[in-house]
Amino acid sequence: MSILQTLTNTTVRIQANTGAVATGFFYMFVTNDERGFIPTLITNRRALVGATELEVALQIKEPHEIEFEEVIFDLNKLAQNIVVHPDESVDLAAVRITPIIKYIEKNGLQSSIHFLDEGILPTPEDTFNAMEDVAVIAYPNSVNELGEHEAFISCGMTTTGIDQSYRGAAKFLVNTTMYPGYAGGPVFTYDRENLANQDICLVGITSDVFRLTEAGLMEEHPIDTMIPATTENQSNMGIMIQATKIRDLETIFKNML
């Protein structure tokens, strides 16, 4: 199994009772207190706006077989566990998913969940080429319904610097197919010539996409989270949030009691 296939276990399709459908990924914040760690699900903030329930379907393992099981939790009850990025221009949010982890442990189940953590984020010492091979892992809502949990891997190339600001924002552009439902999906650099290479980096989170106007101009639009989705005149140019912005969420979580 290639590293990209393994990384599909870091992602999950999420659906809010507002009708919003998006992708999230599992991320573990490590603390220096008695908590030890904080398990979270990171996605775009707009996928959670107005929601009172969020449905997450996990792949869990019973003895000698693998089954799909839906774990549903209420965002109202978890309101104190939802953290949004303090900068409104950064479309990121994280939900503490301790109840899901406790459910799995209480019922003696094993899950295929794979948590990402600080070790996979870029460091100040990391350098990137002007063009980097990247892979987006996400769930297109056009072919997935809750209960059918297969992530897509869309490979492409950066068209602006990963570690450089795009129009003054902590974003970069990627030339790859962007489907409705991709909002909140993780973006990884990888070695296209050697898929067994474990040297990967979480560099971004999907957020927006360019669409062509009747005048032939390119305009930024959020990746559609609603069904049916609007893809008219949509280009293959995605706008990604720099993954280093996750550290801002970590700071907030660590300051929470």
Instruction: For residues 113 and 125, state if they share a domain.
Output: no
Domain identity same for 123 and 221: yes
- Residues 142, 108 within the same domain: no
Other CB atoms within a 10 A radius of the CB of residue 212 amount to 14
Report yes or no on 4 lying in a domain: no
* Location of structure tokens 């992602």: 11
Q: Are residues 90 and 50 in the same domain?
A: yes
Asked if residue 2 is part of any domain, the answer here is no
Q: What is the CATH number of the domain that holds 171?
A: 2.40.10.10
Question: pLDDT digit string (tens) for 118-163?
Answer: 999 999 899 998 899 999 999 988 665 545 567 899 999 999 999 9
The DSSP result for 135-157, as a single string, is EEEE--TTT--TT----EEEEEE
Residues 26 and 92 in one domain: yes
> Does residue 80 sit in the same domain as residue 156?
no
Does some domain include residue 1?
Answer: no
Is 37 among the domain residues?
yes
* pLDDT band (50, 70, 90) for residue 245: very high
The whole domain housing 64 covers 9-117+245-255
The answer to whether 122 touches 243, Cβ cutoff 8 Å, is yes
When pLDDT is averaged across residues 233-244 and rounded to a whole number, the result is 87
Asked if residue 146 and residue 99 are part of one domain, the reply reads no
Give a yes or no: residue 94 inside a domain. Answer: yes
Q: Looking at the structure, do residues 224 and 239 belong to the same domain, yes or no?
A: yes
DSSP letters for 214-254: TTS-EEEEEPP-SSS---TTEEEEEEEEEGGGHHHHHHHHH
Check whether residue 154 and residue 41 sit in a common domain. Answer: no
Q: 3-class DSSP state for residue 97?
A: coil
Which pTM value belongs to this model? 0.90
149/99 same-domain check: no
> Within this chain, do residues 124 and 221 fall inside the same structural domain, yes or no?
yes
**Whole-number average pLDDT of the chain:** 84
According to the model, what pLDDT value does residue 75 have?
61
CB 203 within 8 Å of CB 124: no
- Give residue-wise pLDDT tens across range 54-94: 888 787 877 666 666 666 666 666 667 789 999 999 999 99
Mean pLDDT, range 191-200, rounded to an integer = 73
Total number of domains in the chain: 2
64 part of a folded domain: yes
What is the model's pLDDT at position 224? 83
Q: Which pLDDT value is given to residue 204?
A: 97
In a domain, 62, yes or no: yes
> When comparing pLDDT for 1 and 23, which is higher?
23
Q: Is residue 104 part of a domain?
A: yes
- Asked if 205 contacts 244 with a C-beta cutoff of 8 angstroms, the reply is no
The predicted structure's pLDDT at residue 230:
60
Q: Is residue 110 located within the same domain as residue 176?
A: no
pLDDT at 233 over 60: no
- Is the pLDDT reported for residue 232 higher than 80? no
pLDDT for 112 equals 81
Q: Worst-scoring range by mean pLDDT, 9-13, 112-116, 218-222?
A: 218-222
At 148, list the tokens: 């059918």
User: What pLDDT sits at residue 143?
Assistant: 60
